[in-house]
A and B are shown apart, each in its own frame.
Chain A
Amino acid sequence: AQRVTQPEKLLSVFKGAPVELKCNYSYSGSPELFWYVQYSRQRLQLLLRHISRESIKGFTADLNKGETSFHLKKPFAQEEDSAMYYCALQGAQKLVFGQGTRLTINP
């Protein structure tokens, strides 16, 4: 079975501080992992995917198969990063989402 766990429902950090949103997964096959973001009053959109290994808006995420994790990180948070973040796992043509973490960046 596919399962994605985001242990923090809420995360609040100050502007300029580092951010780490945790994501752990469970999947017997070879996982493909994504981070989606939903800004206030906007639709859900793809932030990044592990196979592209790129940095988007300063965010990076590394797949750690040993720890079955795909944590999202940014060294210096900005106020515009405040949003809902979802970790998702693609397996067997089905995308499974975690519960989401609401990130608030305080000025």
Chain B
Amino acid sequence: SAVISQKPSRDICQRGTSLTIQCQVDSQVTMMFWYRQQPGQSLTLIATANQGSEATYESGFVIDKFPISRPNLTFSTLTVSNMSPEDSSIYLCSVVASGDTQYFGPGTRLTVL
């Protein structure tokens, strides 16, 4: 398995500002993902964080709004830019380890006022 930590665990931000969320894994992993879980909703994949190249974004998500960095095989960041109240969600990092099982971080609960 993989142990995943995220920082911050929660934050309350003002409209128009940006927040960077960090994801740290205790082992090197190839596949790393960022998900969003809006209130009362299921998990939606934002993007795949690729090491050494640009992230691969899902339909409806763009790099200008959600820039992602993946400097190495154990770390990634997701920035939520120019936030609005609609960005209030839980943001989760996940990795593939132990074959092709996906493990999830504890999530970052973001509230935008």
Contact = CB atoms under 8 A, between A and B. Distances in A.
Nearest to B105: A43
B42 A98 contact: yes
B113 interface: no
A57 interface: no
Given A44-B104, A45-B104, A46-B101, A93 B31 contact: yes
Interface in A38-52: 43-46, 49
B43 A86 contact: yes
Interface residues of A, number: 18
B41 A44 contact: no
A100 to B, nearest CB: 5
Interface in A77-92: 86, 90
Contact of B100 (A43, A90, A96, A98): A90
A29 B24 CA distance: 33
A90 B45 CA distance: 12
Contacts of A97: 42-44
Nearest to B106: A43
B36 to A, nearest CB: 11
Contacts of B58: 94
Nearest to B33: A95
Interface string B80-107: 0000000000001010000011111111
Interface in B13-66: 31, 33, 41-45, 48, 58
B105 A94 contact: no
Interface of B: 31, 33, 41-45, 48, 58, 92, 94, 100-107
